[in-house]
Amino acid sequence: MSDSEAKFFNRELSWLEFNQRVLDESQDESVPLLERLKFLTITASNLDEFYRVRVGSLALRLARGVTNPDPAGLTPRQQLDAIGERTRRMVDDQYAGFRHIDLELTQAGIRRVAPGELLDRQRNLAKQVFEEDIYPVHTPQALDPAGEFPLLASGSLNLGIRVRAAGGAGDRFAMIPLGRSTHRWFTIPAERGYAYLLLEDLVALHAGRYFPNEEVLECIPFRISRNADLNLREDLAADLLADMEEVLDNRRQGNCVRLEIAQGVSDELLEFLAGRLSVPPVHVFRIPGPLDLFAFMPLTDLKGFDALRYEAWPPQPSLDVDPKASIFEVLARRDVLLHHPYESFEPVVRFIEEAANDPDVLSIKQTLYRTSRNSPIVAALARAAQRGKNVTAIVELKARFDEARNIEWARNLEQSDVQVIYGVKGLKTHAKVCIVVRREPQGIQRYVHFGTGNYNEATARIYSDISFLTSNEALGADASSFFNAICGLSQPLGFQKLDAAPLGMRDKLLEMIQSETQRRQQGQQAQITAKFNSLVDPEIIQALYAASQAGVKIRLNVRGICCLRPGIKGLSDQISVVSIVDRFLEHARILHFHHGGDDRVYISSADWMPRNLDRRVELLIPIEDANCKARLLQILETYFRDTEKAKRLLPDGRYQRVRGSRGKSTVRSQETLCQLVCQRVKQAEQAQRTVFEPHRAPGSD
């Protein structure tokens, strides 16, 4: 390994270590049982997407003959082999954890019943369910060794079957696609608690019904993952909407990049399926338990088992937003910073809904990357347009796995007379911004929302994000320039305060890092503290290494991928990296540069990755309001005091749990942040109770 290669971790293997940290939460006995199951199911969903996108991309590069190594020195072939080996260990950990959780669930009254454990009355009910709900719906398909193999949906559950005709005429193969529409399990009567039978077990129990006069030798669940990294050639796309729909169709037929099959499969059936699906052996997984652990997520919401979940932390109302006043009156007086999910997302929804209903609002312009299925924000935009307001929505059709939903929004919004822009050619519009233009007595006033997360009120309850609402004139002008540039396909005239990718954000970040480096070289205090989801960009990493070598203290909170190697003497010994995985998904991007004591604080929609800085439309927003800045610094500092859920990245790529000093109180950052918000609300309520407000006579001043 060369000296330059030793400076970087491989991106894909770093991501797998992130998924391992999520998996570790499922094995933490201090976490409530159903929450542990939830973490386990999330790791399965994460791994599905990883294979469909990242492994799919590497497989394409390999097929095209690409041999160039990544910054860590690994070729596509080496990466695929390393991924397969690391994933195999992870799958072993997943199913060891599942067996333990399944046993504890049984003890707690949630029991998965195997076919051989069914009592007579349960068996009779299972047969009735099969005859009425399963047999009429699912149809077996013969698998011809020489014919065309059926097109299977990525991630769907199937049963591979080997049967033998009466008289021993030889074995043949068939399959029963179970798809995604049918429930994965069926409730069966139990003396106490909750009992269920898995769909594949129910079908296997009655598989002979499909094959009269033949012997069913094996009935084995399997599923595949298809390559979803199919990109649109926008330079050749005459109609982006139609071409995106074609991409979605092609994705359904992408090459198979992974085969998962029940451990008890025979060599004959396994070889047949793997061969017909053309899956490399390194990505064929014999699974020692139920396939698709994400399908168990609904179990985490079973009623009557609240003791097995976290205590609720309901979002608190923001003290800075008066519920009795217009949101525009509030923002005319002050900037508002919201920390979700500890503070409610309601003011953001209200901001857009009030704009839709306000007769003085002239226009609304908003980016939409991902939102909820029945979004009140999308409904408000449609309502605003129907009321004659000028409404523009930049809908990103290329938001992976949300393309179909975004196409549906786009069409619905266009039918409501919203001007829909399908992002920027060659880029993804990932910035989170909404601008409202309002006619007021003193003239035209702009109000703006910037966010680190999506306009999705559902995920705002489980993602940790920042919202910033302001009537700042310069930020409003910059937001207008941003929308004008995207909608008019032109270069922005220049921002007063904002920085945007792919135009100037990279240069701004490098400038801020280099400024700290130069200050330290001049003997001044210098420090960088940042929180984001991923750190991959080699140029940014090299700048951080140079800052560390100059003596700049750098603290990074990187939830997921981190290709930087911290703690290497002479290179990165001034850099520390921690990652926090807890009940809420850490998603906010917060940056702090000491800047000679004149703290520069930013929020952003962008991670420090080439895709964000070079191939996406992103925003970097300075927070200059003293109260908002102080609050962000408090939030940021809280994460670095975590001694319960934080793990430190070591120079060799392993993560080690952070432990507090003996005798000092422990800190769980998310719990502390929740408590801070609740304390603010409680103190405000107490203060309000001590204020005497007299009743006034009607008509009095």
On whether the CB atoms of residues 411 and 403 are closer than 8 A, the answer is: no
What is the total residue count of the chain?
A: 701
Other Cβ atoms closer than 10 A to 659 = 11
For β-strands 171-179 and 157-165, DSSP reports them as antiparallel
User: Please, what is the Cα angle at 424 between 355 and 453, to 5 degrees?
Assistant: 50
Rounded CA gap, 650 and 567, in Å? Answer: 7
Tokens of 218: 């094996």
**E strand segments, 231-370:** 256-262, 284-287, 336-340, 361-368
- Residue 501: in which H helix or E strand, if any? strand 499-501
Q: How many CB atoms lie within 10 A of CB 699?
A: 5
In the residue annotation, 339 being an active-site residue is answered as no
What is the radius of gyration, based on Cα positions, of the chain? 28
Q: Tell me how far the alpha carbon of residue 347 is from its chain's centroid.
A: 23
DSSP 8-state secondary structure symbol assigned to residue 180: T
For 371: left if phi > 0, alpha if psi spans -120 to 50, otherwise beta; the answer is beta
d(CA 59, CA 512): 38
CA distances from 658 to 14, 566, 669 (A): 19, 15, 12
Distance CA 538, CA 545 (A): 10
As to burial, measured by CB atoms within 10 angstroms (0-12 exposed, 13-18 middle, 19+ buried), residue 255 is middle
| Contact criterion met (CB below 8 Å) for 460 and 584 | no
Detail the DSSP E strand segments found in 4-135.
Answer: 110-112
How far, in Å, CA of 399 to CA of 406, rounded?
A: 8
In single-letter form, the type of residue at position 602 comes to Y
Q: Is 576 exposed, middle or buried (0-12, 13-18, 19+ CB in 10 A)?
A: middle
What is the identity of the amino acid at 204?
A: A
Parallel, antiparallel or unpaired: strands 428-429 and 589-593: unpaired
What percent helix, strand, coil does the chain show, rounded to 5?
40, 25, 35
Among candidate residues 283, 340, 430, 587, the one labeled active-site is 430
Question: Which amino acid, residue 306?
Answer: D
CA distance 595 to 590: 16
376, two tokens: 């009140």
Distance, CA of 143 to CA of 666 (rounded, Å):
59
CA dihedral in degrees (254, 258, 260, 261; nearest 10)?
80
| DSSP label of 572 | T
Q: From 32, 58, 5, 454, select the one nearest 229 (Cα to Cα).
A: 58
What gap in Å lies between CA 150 and CA 144, rounded to an integer? 10
Active site residues per annotation = 430
